[in-house]
């Protein structure tokens, strides 16, 4: 039986990987300009990290984590998100002593046992950034400006910014009580999940996508009317800083996001070109208190995560991930006629590579004709046939594949010639 990849995971083949690299490179360049340093945390963490931070009653922790017990009986989990690991590392490595405001970014795979569909996978990749040490709403606007810069640099235009404030431990409890009372009145109209959430975490009801719950949700009180003075002030300053950067935002009272650690500002960037349920490209918000929750020093935090698969779907204009397999195009394909020429070609290729030329030698032991066919298939820029006479004369004929023009040069001239012509 053929062994296959696990449902909800995917290979990124040559031919597709270049787009991933381009996204990463553009992201790294934006991060550099805005002063973010890369951090790489382990893929495995203690389960407790996510239970405590993401929240025991969230979908992620309740049903989506890949959790195993190690040989000592310790529960460990494949990270479902990047913020909690970064904050854990920030605390563990005492980064708060190094800089007053730490700006960190990460790129890597995350794991959630969700129902796979277009734009939703079990292993997916996020580019994320975290700012630790500031509760200034100006940093929130700066982060969003950086994201807009990145999306525009990638050539995307079709996106909207949604913002909300989810209050803080001062004002949110009263709102949650009010929400619960209202939901209990409509218990008969709610789905089973929302009935449960009404008691455990009523805020989550606002996230529900079940059609029959929508009429109830639309009439629920909105948190904006319950914010305390400080939260109200914070949110209005955030909007002012966005406006001064000419960034348009839509206030979306239902935007509570699926992770418990958020306070005050939450946001999403959605794309009009993605399907209605998987339209979020970026999600983020403020998480003051998370550091303390994980046993660290007080540290205000703000960050986001962007889904790379969804970006790739948008940028490639495809409905499925992946493109046909494609091998890299050699700058020069050295075609060999016999064993002596093969051995010479190996040496020549290694000399050319030291001069920065992508030289390719066929290892399949094929005829000249099939090597030429392979050079064509690989889209080689030049070919050079090497046989007894080339070895004897030291003169090599380089053929430009685009137009068939041939030029004879000595071995020492090959690299210079290619550099000029490529």
Q: By C-beta, is 129 or 281 nearer to ligand AMP?
A: 281
Interaction of residue 108 with ligand AMP, rule CB under 6 A: no
Please identify which residue in 23, 104, 206, 281 interacts with ligand AMP, judged by CB under 6 A. Answer: 281
**CB 85 → ligand AMP: shortest distance, Å?**
12
Q: By C-beta, is 226 or 302 nearer to ligand AMP?
A: 302
* 3 state SS for the chain: CCCCCCCCCCCCCCCCHHHHHHHHHHHHHHHHHCCCEECCCCCEEEHHHHHHHCCCCCHHHHHHCEEEECCCCCEEEECCCCHHHHHHHHHHCCHHHCCCCEEEEEEEEEECCCCCECCECCEEEEEEEEEECCCCHHHHHHHHHHHHHHHHHCCCCCEEEEEEECCCCCCHHHHHHHHHHHHHHCHHHCCHHHHHHHHHCHHHHHHCCCHHHHHHHHCCCCHHHHCCHHHHHHHHHHHHHHHHCCCCCEECCCCCCCCCCCEEEEEEEEECCCCCCCCEEEEEEECCCHHHHCCCCCCCEEEEEEEHHHHHHHHHCCCCCCCCCCCCCCCEEEEECCHHHHHHHHHHHHHHHHCCCCEEECCCCCCHHHHHHHHHHCCCCEEEEECHHHHHHCEEEEEECCCCCEEEEEHHHHHHHHHHHC
Interaction of residue 286 with ligand AMP, rule CB under 6 A: no
**CB 195 → ligand AMP: shortest distance, Å?**
23
Interaction of residue 374 with ligand AMP, rule CB under 6 A: no
Q: By C-beta, is 119 or 296 nearer to ligand AMP?
A: 119
What CA–CA distance (Å, rounded) separates 404 from 49? 62
Q: By C-beta, is 131 or 415 nearer to ligand AMP?
A: 131
Of the candidates 181, 180, 172, the one whose C-alpha atom is nearest the C-alpha of residue 205 is 180
Interaction of residue 159 with ligand AMP, rule CB under 6 A: no
Interaction of residue 148 with ligand AMP, rule CB under 6 A: no
Q: By C-beta, is 267 or 333 nearer to ligand AMP?
A: 267
**CB 54 → ligand AMP: shortest distance, Å?**
9
Interaction of residue 45 with ligand AMP, rule CB under 6 A: no
Interaction of residue 387 with ligand AMP, rule CB under 6 A: no
Strands of the 395-400 sheet, one edge to the other:
359-361, 332-336, 382-386, 395-400, 406-410
Interaction of residue 102 with ligand AMP, rule CB under 6 A: no
Please identify which residue in 27, 208, 305, 348 interacts with ligand AMP, judged by CB under 6 A. Answer: 305
Residue indicated by tokens 């940028």: 315
Interaction of residue 137 with ligand AMP, rule CB under 6 A: no
Q: Are residues 64 and 100 in contact, defined by beta-carbon separation less than 8 angstroms?
A: no
**CB 77 → ligand AMP: shortest distance, Å?**
15
Stretch that binds ligand AMP, among 119-127, 151-159, 363-371, 394-402 (CB under 6 A): 119-127
Structure tokens at 284: 């983020």
Interaction of residue 85 with ligand AMP, rule CB under 6 A: no
310-349 mask for ligand AMP (x: CB under 6 A)?
x---------------------------------------
**CB 60 → ligand AMP: shortest distance, Å?**
7
Please identify which residue in 30, 52, 88, 112 interacts with ligand AMP, judged by CB under 6 A. Answer: 112
**CB atoms inside a 10 Å sphere around CB 294:** 19
Q: By C-beta, is 85 or 119 nearer to ligand AMP?
A: 119
Tell me the site size for ligand AMP, rule CB under 6 A.
Answer: 17
Interaction of residue 121 with ligand AMP, rule CB under 6 A: yes
What CA–CA distance (Å, rounded) separates 414 from 409? 6
Q: Are residues 39 and 50 in contact, defined by beta-carbon separation less than 8 angstroms?
A: no
Interaction of residue 309 with ligand AMP, rule CB under 6 A: yes
Interaction of residue 124 with ligand AMP, rule CB under 6 A: yes
228-267 mask for ligand AMP (x: CB under 6 A)?
------------------------------x---------
Interaction of residue 226 with ligand AMP, rule CB under 6 A: no
- Position with the least CB separation from ligand AMP: 307
Interaction of residue 300 with ligand AMP, rule CB under 6 A: no
Chain residues binding ligand AMP by CB under 6 A are: 81, 112, 114, 119-121, 124, 126, 258, 280-283, 305, 307, 309-310
């Amino acid at each position: 039986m053929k062994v296959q990849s696990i449902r909800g995971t995917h290979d990124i083949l040559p031919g597709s990987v270049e787009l991933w690299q381009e996204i990463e490179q553009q992201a790294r360049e934006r991060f550099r300009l805005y002063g973010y340093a890369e951090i790489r945390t382990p893929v495995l963490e203690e389960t407790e990290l996510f239970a405590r931070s993401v929240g025991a009653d969230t979908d992620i922790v309740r049903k989506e984590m890949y959790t195993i017990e190690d040989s000592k009986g310790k529960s460990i989990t494949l990270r479902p998100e990047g913020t909690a690991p970064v904050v854990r590392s920030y605390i563990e490595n005492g980064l708060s002593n190094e800089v007053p405001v730490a700006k960190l970014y990460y790129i890597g795979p995350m794991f959630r046992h969700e129902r796979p569909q277009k734009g939703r996978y079990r292993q997916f990749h996020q580019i994320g950034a975290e700012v630790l040490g500031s509760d200034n709403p100006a940093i929130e606007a700066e982060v969003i400006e950086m994201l807009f810069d990145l999306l525009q640099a990638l050539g995307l235009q079709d996106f909207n910014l949604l913002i909300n404030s989810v209050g803080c431990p001062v004002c949110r409890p009263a709102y949650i009580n009010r929400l619960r009372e209202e939901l209990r009145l409509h218990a008969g109209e709610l789905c089973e999940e929302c009935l449960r959430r009404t008691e455990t975490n009523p805020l989550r009801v606002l996230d529900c996508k079940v059609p029959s719950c929508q009429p109830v949700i639309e009439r629920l009180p909105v948190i904006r009317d319950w914010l305390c003075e400080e939260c109200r002030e914070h949110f209005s300053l955030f909007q002012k800083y966005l406006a001064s950067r000419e960034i348009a935002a839509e206030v979306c009272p239902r935007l509570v996001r699926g992770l418990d650690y958020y306070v005050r500002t939450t946001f999403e960037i959605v794309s009009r070109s993605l399907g209605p349920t998987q339209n979020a490209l970026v999600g983020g918000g403020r998480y003051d208190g998370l550091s303390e929750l994980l046993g660290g020093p007080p540290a205000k935090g703000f960050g986001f995560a962007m889904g790379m698969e969804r970006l790739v779907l948008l940028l490639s204009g495809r409905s499925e991930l992946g493109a046909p397999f494609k091998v890299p195009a050699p700058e020069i394909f050295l075609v060999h006629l016999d064993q002596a020429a093969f051995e010479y070609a190996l040496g020549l290729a290694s000399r050319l590579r030291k001069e920065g030329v992508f030289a390719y030698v066929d290892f399949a032991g094929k005829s000249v004709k099939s090597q030429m066919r392979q050079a064509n298939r690989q889209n080689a820029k030049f070919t050079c046939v090497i046989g007894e006479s080339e070895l004897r004369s030291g003169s090599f004929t380089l053929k430009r594949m685009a137009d068939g023009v041939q030029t004879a040069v000595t071995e020492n001239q090959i690299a210079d010639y290619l550099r000029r012509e490529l």
